[in-house]
């Protein structure tokens, strides 16, 4: 019963305070008391406890009979076991079943309600406490400003980082575009260079291509010039050329050609030479090897003839007459004879190549090299001859001279090759070893420095 009184007084006090502050009991703000009315915390607590006790005593005095009667009613009701008994008890105490149910629901609700704890108001003293409060407020404001500044700095840093990222991305994109443009330009330049190289290769290939008509003209023209020059020299009509008497020159050369007894065979030999050059220049593989070989042989022949006429004092007309008489037959051979000789020559050549022993050939070459007395001198003169040969080839291919001399040397190489085939394979009038010995004797007769053997003392 006392607890009920205390609960009622506490609830009344809490309701009164909540009504006066217009805020929930447990969410009251700090009460600030002026300097004139402030009291110590102990005094405030004592007054609060005293007021609560007075309210509780008053409530107990007022509500005690009702609570005592209610307790007795509860005890009597607990003893009843039937509704009839409960109705009699309620009637005795002037209550009813509905009042009892309402009372039971109120008590059940009251049991669930927590008793609010009355807290003493926080008293902020003046002077030091006010200064501390102001300092705390100032610190809180400073902290708030710092947090705001930090947030602004963070936002600024984020914006700057975003701008820097966008700038870096744009720069990377620009660099990528520049690299792509550079690569494209390089690819275009390379493609242009390749196209230019292909065009140059095609041009060179076109130069290197041969045709029967072109090679025939290229062979006939220098041959005609060479024959005209030879005829002029042999007939002694050089003065007619220098004097401009071309009719006299033509008449004398015509008479000489008509009076020449073996002119038909000479013409056939010239035609054979031209045909060999034109045909082999248009046969694959042969046109890669033979023209250069013939030029080399022709250049070597030119150097030999220059040495013979300048050093040995030989006469060209005598050499031409000997060459024609030794190589051009007086009568034309029959087709059967030509076929038989050609077949026999080819057969002998194939048999000879099959019978060649590589080791024996190597040993023979080594033996001949070992037999040379002054190897360094021989090597030096050989190198000098090769250098002169290359230099002569360069001179022959100079811009103006290249119109006539390269083909002339090539045709001379063809002539020498035909003569060599006839000399060593067909008629076998001489051997390679014998001609090499003759050449060696001629070289020895030059008495070149370093080639002479010292006489024994």
pLDDT digits (tens, 9 = 90+) for 94-114: 655 555 565 665 566 555 544
pTM of the model as a whole: 0.50
In a domain, 80, yes or no: no
Region of poorest pLDDT, from 45-59, 160-174, 206-220, 270-284: 45-59
pLDDT in tens, 418-436: 888 888 888 788 888 888 8
Greater model confidence, 370 or 182: 182
Question: What confidence score (pLDDT) does residue 68 get?
Answer: 56
Give percent of the chain above pLDDT 90. 0
Region of poorest pLDDT, from 3-12, 127-136, 329-338: 3-12
Tell me the C-alpha distance between 307 and 239, whole Å. 26
pLDDT exceeds 80 at position 49: no
Greater model confidence, 7 or 174: 174
Question: What confidence score (pLDDT) does residue 69 get?
Answer: 63
Tell me the C-alpha distance between 6 and 110, whole Å. 13
Tell me the C-alpha distance between 304 and 355, whole Å. 33
Query: Minimal CA–CA distance to 320: which of 371, 262, 255, 373?
Result: 262
DSSP secondary structure, 98-155, as one string: HHHHHHHHHHHHHHHSPPPPPPPPPP--STHHHHHHHHHHHHHHHHHHHHHHHHHHHH
**Range among 1-5, 194-198, 359-363, 453-457 rated most confident:** 194-198
Greater model confidence, 44 or 126: 44
Tell me the C-alpha distance between 14 and 10, whole Å. 6
DSSP secondary structure, 218-241, as one string: HHHHHHHHHHHHHHHHHHT-HHHH
Q: What is the mean pLDDT of residues 349-374?
A: 78
Question: What confidence score (pLDDT) does residue 55 get?
Answer: 65
CA distances (Å), origin 329, targets 240, 253, 264, 265: 32, 23, 10, 7
In a domain, 188, yes or no: no
> For residue 81, which phi and psi values (nearest 5 degrees)?
-120, -5
In a domain, 321, yes or no: yes
Give 453's pLDDT tier (boundaries 50, 70, 90).
low
In a domain, 52, yes or no: no
Tell me the C-alpha distance between 209 and 203, whole Å. 10
Give 450's pLDDT tier (boundaries 50, 70, 90).
low
For the chain, the average pLDDT equals 75
H/E element, 266: helix 263-280
Tell me the C-alpha distance between 55 and 49, whole Å. 10
pLDDT exceeds 70 at position 34: no
Query: Minimal CA–CA distance to 51: which of 3, 114, 1, 9?
Result: 9
Sign of the four-CA dihedral 49, 55, 57, 59 = negative
pLDDT exceeds 60 at position 416: yes
pLDDT exceeds 70 at position 30: no
**How many domains, the chain?**
1
Region of poorest pLDDT, from 50-59, 181-190, 218-227, 294-303: 50-59
Contact residues for 239 (Cβ-Cβ < 8 A; gap 6+): none
pLDDT exceeds 60 at position 255: yes
Question: What confidence score (pLDDT) does residue 335 get?
Answer: 78
Give percent of the chain above pLDDT 70. 73
Contact residues for 413 (Cβ-Cβ < 8 A; gap 6+): 293, 294, 295, 296, 297, 298, 299, 301
CB atoms within 10 A of CB 38: 14
In a domain, 180, yes or no: no
Supply the range of the domain harboring residue 350. 212-445
For residue 386, the Cα-to-chain-centroid distance in whole angstroms is 45
Question: What confidence score (pLDDT) does residue 112 get?
Answer: 53
pLDDT exceeds 60 at position 307: yes
pLDDT in tens, 193-244: 888 888 777 665 555 556 677 778 878 888 888 888 888 888 888 888 888 8
Greater model confidence, 65 or 327: 327
pLDDT exceeds 60 at position 37: no
Q: Are 344 and 350 in contact (CB under 8 A)?
A: no
Give 53's pLDDT tier (boundaries 50, 70, 90).
low
In a domain, 105, yes or no: no
In a domain, 245, yes or no: yes
Q: Are 232 and 251 in contact (CB under 8 A)?
A: no
Greater model confidence, 373 or 259: 259
Question: What confidence score (pLDDT) does residue 25 get?
Answer: 41
For 82, half-sphere exposure in the C-beta direction (CA atoms, 13 angstrom radius) is 3
Tell me the C-alpha distance between 376 and 173, whole Å. 70
pLDDT exceeds 70 at position 44: no
Q: Which two tokens stand for residue 148?
A: 């705001």
In a domain, 296, yes or no: yes
Q: What is the mean pLDDT of residues 69-89?
A: 74
Question: What confidence score (pLDDT) does residue 70 get?
Answer: 63
């Amino acid at each position: 019963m006392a607890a009920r009184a205390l609960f009622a007084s506490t609830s009344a006090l809490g309701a009164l305070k909540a009504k006066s502050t217009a805020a929930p009991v447990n969410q009251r703000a700090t009460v600030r008391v002026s300097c004139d009315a402030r009291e110590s915390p102990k005094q405030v607590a004592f007054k609060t406890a005293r007021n609560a006790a007075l309210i509780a005593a008053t409530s107990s005095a007022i509500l005690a009979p009702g609570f005592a009667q209610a307790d007795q009613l509860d005890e009597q009701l607990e003893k009843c076991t039937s509704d009839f008994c409960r109705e009699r008890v309620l009637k005795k105490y002037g209550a009813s079943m509905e009042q009892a149910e309402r009372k039971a629901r109120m008590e059940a609700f009251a049991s669930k309600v927590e008793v609010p704890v009355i807290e003493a108001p926080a008293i902020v003293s003046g002077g030091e406490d006010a200064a501390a409060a102001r300092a705390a407020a100032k610190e809180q404001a400073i902290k708030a400003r710092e947090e705001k500044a930090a947030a602004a700095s963070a936002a600024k840093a984020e914006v700057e980082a975003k701008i820097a990222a966008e700038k870096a991305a744009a720069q990377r994109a620009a660099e990528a575009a520049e690299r792509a443009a550079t690569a494209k330009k390089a690819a275009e330049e390379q493609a242009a260079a390749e196209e230019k190289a292909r065009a140059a290769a095609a041009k060179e290939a076109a130069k290197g291509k041969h045709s029967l008509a072109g090679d025939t003209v290229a062979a006939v023209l220098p041959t005609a010039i060479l024959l005209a020059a030879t005829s002029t020299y042999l007939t002694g009509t050089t003065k007619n050329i220098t004097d401009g008497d071309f009719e006299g020159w033509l008449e004398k050369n015509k008479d000489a050609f008509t009076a020449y007894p073996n002119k038909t065979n000479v013409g056939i030999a010239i035609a054979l030479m031209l045909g060999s050059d034109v045909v082999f220049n248009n046969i694959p593989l042969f046109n890669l090897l033979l023209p250069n070989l013939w030029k080399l042989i022709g250049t070597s022949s030119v150097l030999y003839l220059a040495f013979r006429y300048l050093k040995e004092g030989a006469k060209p007309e005598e050499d031409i007459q000997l060459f024609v008489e030794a190589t051009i037959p007086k009568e034309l051979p029959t087709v059967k004879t030509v076929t038989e000789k050609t077949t026999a020559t080819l057969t002998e050549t194939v048999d000879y190549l099959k019978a060649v022993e590589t080791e024996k050939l190597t040993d023979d070459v080594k033996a001949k090299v070992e037999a040379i007395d002054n190897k360094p001198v021989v090597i030096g003169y050989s190198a000098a001859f090769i250098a002169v040969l290359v230099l002569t080839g360069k001179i022959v291919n100079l811009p103006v001279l290249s119109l006539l001399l390269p083909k002339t040397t090539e045709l001379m190489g063809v002539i020498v090759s035909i003569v060599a085939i006839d000399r060593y394979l067909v008629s076998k009038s001489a051997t390679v070893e014998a001609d090499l010995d003759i050449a060696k004797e001629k070289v020895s007769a030059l008495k070149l420095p370093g080639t002479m053997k010292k006489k024994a003392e």
